[in-house]
Every structure is written in C-alpha cells, then in structure tokens.
Amino acid sequence: MTKQLLTEAIVQSVNQGGKAFVPYIMAGDGGLEKLKKDILFLQESGVTAIELGIPFSDPVADGPVIQAAGERALTHGVTLRKVLQAIHSFKDEVTVPLVLMTYLNPIICYGIDQFVRDCAASGVSGIIVPDLPLEESALLQPALQEADIALIPLVSLTSPVERIEKIVAESEGFIYAVTVNGITGVRNGFGDALENHLQKLKDISPVPVLAGFGISTVEQVQNIGASVDGVIVGSAIVQALHEEEYGKIKSLINASKPTPITK
C-alpha cells in the first residue's frame, strides 16, 4: 500500500464525520502467530491504520507497558526480519495501512535498501523511526521515496516554531504530534498548552495531524481527537491485547467514530 493510501485512509475517517484511530501494537507480543489475529481483529473493529512496533533491546522512548511488551516479544525470538516475513505471509488479508515503528539500529543492521524493499513487498505504507533526527533523514529518504513509503515525522511539544515549519514542509503520510514531554505511557492529564500547539500544527500542516502519547481513555480519545485528525493509542491497546480485553479496545475505537445523534 502506498503512502497516499495512508493519508487517504485518515482523510476518509474524518470525512465520515469521525476521527482517525491508529492503535500501536508490539509485533510478536504473545508470539508471532498472534500477530495476524491481532491485526485482523483491529481491522474488523474499524481502525484507520495500525502502527506496528518492532521489539528492540534499548527502546529509549518507551514507557513500562511497551518495554514489557517488547521484552515478551524478544523472548519469543521476534526480530525485524521475522515480522516483515510474517506480514508478507498474510498481506492479502490486510486492508488497513500498516506503519512500522522501529528504532534506527535494527534498520542499519538489516541494510537500509533491503529493509525498504522488504517493507514495500510486505505492504508497509509508512515508517516511524523515533531516534532518527530530521537532519539525518536523508539516510532513509531516497530509498523510501522510491518505494512510495512515508517517513512519518514526530513533532514534540518543545520543538521551536522554525523546526516545526521545516518538519511540516517535508512531511508525508501524516504528522505524529507528541502530546507530552517524556516517554510513552498512560497519563491522566495534559499540559494547558496542548490544545494551542495542536491547533497550530493543524493550521500549517499539509498532511493530517494525529496526536499520540498518553491517550488511554474514551474521554481522551474524544477530547484530544477534537483538536486534530485522529489519535494514536499505544500502551492502553498493548495492555488490553495482552490481557485479552477486547471489549475495552472496541470502546476506544468506537470513541473515534461519529457520535450518533440522540433525540
């Protein structure tokens, strides 16, 4: 699937009167056999796209829930290569865009060109590399361009305006607006400056803006979603999948759908 389809999927969720909902899952949490089941469950439950995390030994941006999921996946012997092979094996059944989230090191070990070719062959439409600074994006960009895969930029709350403008100008797929300073994980409140920040991003961005980090409840999906094109929910989904609380996942997804008119 191409990067245009990723953007279109988000736009479509918004045009239908709701918001995009993108769950983050840790590939291979519970073993790679479970990956297909998880992806198809989320797809059938109405998600817009799926962010697929690759387990890594040194996940510097990750909080305790995702770290623990990564460790479980690593115990199952999950690697970047195995994840790409797995999604390749069932790609004909996947209709939602997949965004791969991996740190830079596994990509370098894999070989950049081979990595991008294999992502394209497995139907990946975007990648997120949290430890790749904008200044180094040329490392991946030519190969990704060729393969029609988006490099999704992360914009933090503390990025200065000039930097945000630069990131936004080069953005593809969507912009990942990080809602808190710090690591991933469930949080109860957000800073006062958040709504303004998200609004500003939306005003200047040519691609959709999705907000992520610390979104774990139906209310947060609705409240944060209201300022942007959609939300990304990681830790809450990872935990619920681990505990097989499928109803909880469905209600989070439903919170992004158009609200029925009640008389």
Ligand X SMILES: O=P(O)(O)OC[C@@H](O)[C@@H](O)c1c[nH]c2ccccc12
Single-letter amino acid code for the residue at 16: Q
Q: Which is nearer to ligand X, 114 or 213 (CB)?
A: 213
CB-based contact 221:251 (threshold 8 Å): no
State yes or no: residue 130 binds ligand X (CB under 6 A).
yes
Nearest-approach distance from CB 24 to ligand X, in angstroms: 4
* 118 noted as active-site residue: no
**Residue of the chain from 78, 96, 127, 232 that contacts ligand X (CB under 6 A):** 232
Contact 213, 190 (CB under 8 A): no
Interface with ligand X, residue 28, by CB under 6 A? no
Euclidean distance between CA atoms 183 and 198, whole angstroms: 19
The verdict on 53 binding ligand X (CB under 6 A) reads yes
Give the nearest distance from C-beta 261 to ligand X in angstroms: 30
50 part of the interface to ligand X, by CB under 6 A: no
Catalytic residue among 51, 118, 172, 229: 51
What is the spatial distance between Cα 121 and Cα 116, in angstroms, rounded to a whole number? 9
Q: Where are the beta strands (DSSP E) in the chain?
A: 20-26, 50-53, 98-101, 124-128, 150-151, 154-155, 175-178, 209-212, 230-233
Distance of closest approach, residue 260 Cβ to ligand X, in angstroms = 26
User: Distance (Å, rounded) from C-alpha 257 to C-alpha 117?
Assistant: 34
Catalytic, out of 62, 118, 172, 229: 62
Q: Check if 243 is active-site.
A: no
Collapsed DSSP state (helix, strand, coil) of residue 37: helix
Distances (CA, A) of 109 to 73, 80, 113, 205: 19, 10, 11, 33
Of residues 192-231, those binding ligand X (CB under 6 A): 212-215
Exactly one of 185, 208, 225, 230 binds ligand X (CB under 6 A); that residue is: 185
Site for ligand X in 133-162 (CB under 6 A): 154
Catalytic center residues:
51, 62
Binding site for ligand X (CB under 6 A): 24, 51, 53, 61-62, 66, 101, 130, 154, 184-185, 212-215, 232-235
